[in-house]
Amino acid sequence: MVATDALTHLVVLGSTGSIGMSTLDVAARHPDRYRVLALAAHRNVDRLAEQCAQFRPRYAAMVDAAAAAQLRDRLKAEGVATEVLAGEAAVTELAALDEADTVVAGIVGAAGLSPTLAAAERGKRILLANKEVLVMAGALFMEAVKRHDALLMPIDSEHNAIFQCLPGDFSARGLDRSGVRRILLTASGGPFRTTPLEQLPLMSPEQACKHPNWSMGRKISVDSASMMNKGLELIEACLLFSAPPERVQVVLHPQSIIHSLVEYVDGSVLAQLGNPDMRTPIAHALAWPERIDSGVGSLDLFAIARLDFEAPDMRRYPCLQLAYDALAQGGNACAVLNAANEVAVAAFLERRIRFTDIARVVGATLEAADVRPVRELADVLAADDWARARAARAIVELAA
């Protein structure tokens, strides 16, 4: 490890989720490099209190005001001097702190849009795990990154793998001048990859959340089961790497050992392999262009023994097809797709609709949408509001 002259000050948004906890695990292994400046979460008081006691950040924020009050009282009783803030605006404020060097965008869903955009506008190094930022407001966000000279590092395992397989000067050269033929975006296929199609309507939230390879939150686990997660990643990849959708191919790879691949025009195919552990891409993005220990064990190829690949079946994964459709429509269609999916997944987790109804709700919402260009953040938020209301109506119609 190369010694650094100064500590990197971290702001971790979504610190109590899987991305946040993995980030803090990596940071704790390198106290000579990283100082946790601020943590933000929704309402998990117990976990955030434990994190504040361990890392002693200067600030902590909770979106839920009642949870913030509980955290404030608890930290005061424990003698932890962290200043506690409350509300969505407070989270955005932390993302834009002058002292912050790196902002980890680990908030799931549309709630992560405003703080991540604020970090870009302040020229931060952004470790991006929130797909919705690019899906909802990709052109606006990428323009902010470029205009304010922010450094965008993807920490989704797939996009980080693609980043690692591309040449160092790719951002200046692009696909064609870099000799890239296509990007191969891998997907595990989720827990229902081999479930008979006729049984999919009967699948429960518990079954959908039981991912075969990864430990993730409930919403993203359902997205993985439906492959909407991969659809959002497809949109994200097209924006991150300036690639048309026909040059990004989704490949089912059930072992989740190859995290993605890049094929070049000379026939070479470069792949990034590793154990399915989010600490690997997080450590890569935290230290880039250096490498640091992530705490992840060595990959045992002899134990793996085989690597399998399949083409995705759109009958099994209609949400993936919907993502392709939204990408083709452009404008605010991707924001509509994302918002409708969030509403549908929440309804499924609450057992108000069946698993297969998720695609029906999203499809009905996308079909009814007035697709138009996105020129400012207000356009994104308006599409998001409309889509949530329309998706809620579609759920009522299904119940009827």
Cβ 13 vs Cβ 105: under 8 Å: yes
β-pair type (102-105, 125-128): parallel
SS (H, E, C) 333-355: HHHHHHHHHHHHHHHHHCCCCCC
CATH 1.10.1740.10 fits 175-274+302-399, yes or no: yes
pLDDT tens for 301-343 read: 999 999 999 999 999 999 999 999 999 999 999 999 999 999 9
Q: Given this model, what pLDDT does residue 3 score? A: 38
Q: Give the architecture (CATH level 2) of 8-154.
A: 3-Layer(aba) Sandwich (3.40)
Residues lower than pLDDT 70 in the chain: 1-5, 214-215
Using CA atoms, how far apart are residues 66 and 95, in angstroms rounded to an integer?
A: 21
Mean of the per-residue pLDDT values of the chain: 94
Q: Given this model, what pLDDT does residue 215 score? A: 65
What are the boundaries of each domain within the chain?
8-154, 175-274+302-399
Using CA atoms, how far apart are residues 379 and 359, in angstroms rounded to an integer?
A: 24
Helices 377-399, 131-147: axis angle to 10 degrees equals 170
Q: Given this model, what pLDDT does residue 339 score? A: 94
Q: Given this model, what pLDDT does residue 249 score? A: 96
pLDDT tens for 224-241 read: 999 999 999 999 999 999
End-to-end CA distance of the chain: 61
Using CA atoms, how far apart are residues 176 and 174, in angstroms rounded to an integer?
A: 6
Query: What does pTM read for this prediction?
Result: 0.90
